[in-house]
Structure 1
Amino acid sequence: MTHGSRLSAIVPPLVSLLVIGAGLELALLATATPTYLMPRPSVVLSALADNAGELSRATLQTALAASLGLVFSAVFGGTIAVVLSMHPWVRRAFYPYAVFFQTVPVVAIAPMLVIWFGYGIRAITAAAFIVSVFPIIANTLSGLLSTDPALCDLFRIYRAGRLATLLKLRLPSSIPHFLTGLRIASGLAVIGAIVGEFVADTYQAGGGIGTAIEVAIKEQKTDKVFAAVLMASLLGLGFFALVNLASFLSMRHWHVSETKE
């Protein structure tokens, strides 16, 4: 990606953000909307600056739990996808359970995670894992099953075994799909970690960003709530950007579509 293309990708959303922020600031000023209902962007930025240390520590705690959940999702989800790709009857028998597992709202089972794992990072990591694992399973499985039939025939002609075909053809072909699933899962892992913190955080060292949001709501500090939500959004964007960078670095010499982003 050239310097000019980088600017063309960054400048338009930045300009639109500034325009929307300025418009919202003026609209809230013109309508004299109380800060406790909807704080102006300038007030949110001021709260972010005033609580920078606390929110940074909380964001780092959430980032740790989300990172662990995402790593476990990548390992477990990739492994399950490989197992499901082995035979059609395996997929018919077990893939519906993976879909069902995804439909269960993490908010509903978060209290059960406390019972199973106790309060603290283990339950929060489990929440991040539960939310983020299915996109990796679904996308990796799609990649494993959509390998070029001509290449599969070539491997059969040369009498390659199932393990050799898996390691040398199907797995490499599924890497772009796996990375797509990882992109989706990266943002979901942050959401899952925050939901887990609402229920299972121990408030140690101030807790994570979900705890900061809860405390600010109870203290009726709406500007701090928005500042914490902003930090959570930036954390999700950071995760997505890191996965995008890893995807670009790993695929730029092999898969053309990855180099165009």
Structure 2
Amino acid sequence: MTAIEGHTPTLDPEEARRLRQERLERIGRWLLPLAIMILAIWLWDRVCVWNDIPKYILPRPGVVLQTLHDDAGLLFSSLLVTLRITFLSLALAVVGGVGLAVLFAQSKWVEMSFFPFAIVLQVTPIVAIFPLINIYVDNQTTKLLLCAWIVAFFPILSNTTLGLNSVDRNLRDLFKLNGATQWQQLRYLRLPAAMPYFLGGLKIAGGLSLIGAVVAEFVAGATGQSSGLASRIIEAGYRLNAPRLFAALILISLIGILIFLVLSLISHLILRRWHESALKQER
């Protein structure tokens, strides 16, 4: 064995420092939020104990967890109702937003004609639109679905339209020089280029669809056994059942976080091999 073969390569101090920093960042990305969350829950519990706060005003975390266990049947059945509205509205927002964005990309006249109406839907509060929906729509589920769709629709439309219009002009000219039709440009150039923008809008719309579903239940005043989590919050508030109210809020928050994480994972898996934003995460 030669001296060169037996030599173990060593990292220079700068490279070693960079690797340590990356390792600490990977650990801290999960450890720090977890530590802060545990500290916040502990402080919540201590504040209740130190100030002798009754549970109908501010329940202790243990009481909320016990309520979540005891009322699991009621709360999780309502959760399924809310999730159904959330995912249906998100699916409709994706289909409608992408479809309309493609039409906008194919014709500037269509974009100039209809985009202002999309903006009007976005900037008008849903609580102001709902009375009209309540007049013209009889089915309760359809009312909730329409409200949630209005909230989730615009981020998909706006981001996808921006992506389709952000194609490199030189690449577009190259496609035209090679005789590509508009639909060929759309399929092989503009849609792939718009994918990061669409996925960014999807992550936004995922959270907004959940918010829209919950807000729609609030403004609709939905009640009954087949109602969503918002109705459980309203009911618990009227009955001063703070533990159930907090349990429903925790479920909504956890589902919102889960939706964001799943959509972020989907975005990363799609973009990781070719887009710069995902390639940076791979390094």
TM-score over 0.5 (shorter chain): yes
Which of residues 57, 75, 85 in structure 1 aligns to 2:95? 75
Residue of structure 2 in register with 1:35 after alignment: 55
Which of residues 37, 40, 47 in structure 1 aligns to 2:67? 47
Residue of structure 1 in register with 2:43 after alignment: 23
Question: Structure 2 matches for 1:52-67, cutoff 5 A?
Answer: 52-67=72-87
Counterpart CA distance in 2 for 1:204 and 1:4 is 50
Instruction: Give the secondary structure class of the aligned counterpart of 1:254.
Output: coil
Residues 209 and 228 in structure 1, CA contact (< 8 A), matched pair in contact too: yes
Matched, 1:198 2:218: yes
Matched, 1:144 2:133: no
Residues 81 and 226 in structure 2, CA contact (< 8 A), matched pair in contact too: no
Residues 73 and 136 in structure 1, CA contact (< 8 A), matched pair in contact too: yes
Residues 201 and 208 in structure 1, CA contact (< 8 A), matched pair in contact too: no
Matched, 1:222 2:242: yes
Instruction: Give the secondary structure class of the aligned counterpart of 2:232.
Output: helix
CA distance 1:201–1:65, change in 2 (3 Å)? farther
Which of residues 141, 147, 153 in structure 2 aligns to 1:133? 153
Kindly name which structure, 1 or 2, has the bigger radius of gyration based on alpha carbons: 2
TM-aligned CA deviation for residue 116 of structure 1 = 2.7
Which of residues 261, 275, 281 in structure 2 aligns to 1:241? 261
Counterpart CA distance in 2 for 1:234 and 1:67 is 15
Counterpart CA distance in 1 for 2:36 and 2:240 is 30
Residue of structure 2 in register with 1:9 after alignment: 29
TM-aligned CA deviation for residue 90 of structure 1 = 3.1
Counterpart CA distance in 2 for 1:73 and 1:5 is 36
Which of residues 115, 121, 128 in structure 2 aligns to 1:108? 128
Question: Runs of 4+ in structure 1 displaced over 6 angstroms?
Answer: 3-6
Using the aligned pairs only, state the percent identity: 36
Counterpart CA distance in 2 for 1:89 and 1:173 is 22
TM-aligned CA deviation for residue 71 of structure 1 = 0.1
CA distance 1:22–1:74, change in 2 (3 Å)? same
Amino acid at match of 1:228: A
TM-aligned CA deviation for residue 114 of structure 1 = 3.0
- TM-score for both structures, normalised by structure 1: 0.90
- TM-score for both structures, normalised by structure 2: 0.84
Stretch moving more, 76-85 or 25-34:
25-34
TM-aligned CA deviation for residue 7 of structure 1 = 5.1
Counterpart CA distance in 1 for 2:276 and 2:147 is 35
Q: 1:42-79: per-residue Cα shift (whole Å, max 9, x none)?
A: 32222222212211111111001110000000000111
Residues 94 and 153 in structure 2, CA contact (< 8 A), matched pair in contact too: yes
Counterpart CA distance in 1 for 2:179 and 2:226 is 60
Counterpart CA distance in 2 for 1:80 and 1:157 is 27
Residues 61 and 207 in structure 1, CA contact (< 8 A), matched pair in contact too: yes
Unaligned regions of 5+ residues in structure 2, if any?
1-22
Unaligned regions of 5+ residues in structure 1, if any?
none
Residue of structure 1 in register with 2:228 after alignment: 208
**C-alpha root-mean-square deviation of aligned residues, in Å?**
2.3
Which of residues 155, 171, 180 in structure 2 aligns to 1:160? 180
Residue of structure 1 in register with 2:104 after alignment: 84
The number of aligned residues is: 260
Stretch moving more, 238-247 or 210-219:
238-247
Counterpart CA distance in 1 for 2:135 and 2:257 is 31
Stretch moving more, 24-33 or 225-234:
24-33
Q: 1:182-204: per-residue Cα shift (whole Å, max 9, x none)?
A: 10000110111112222447645
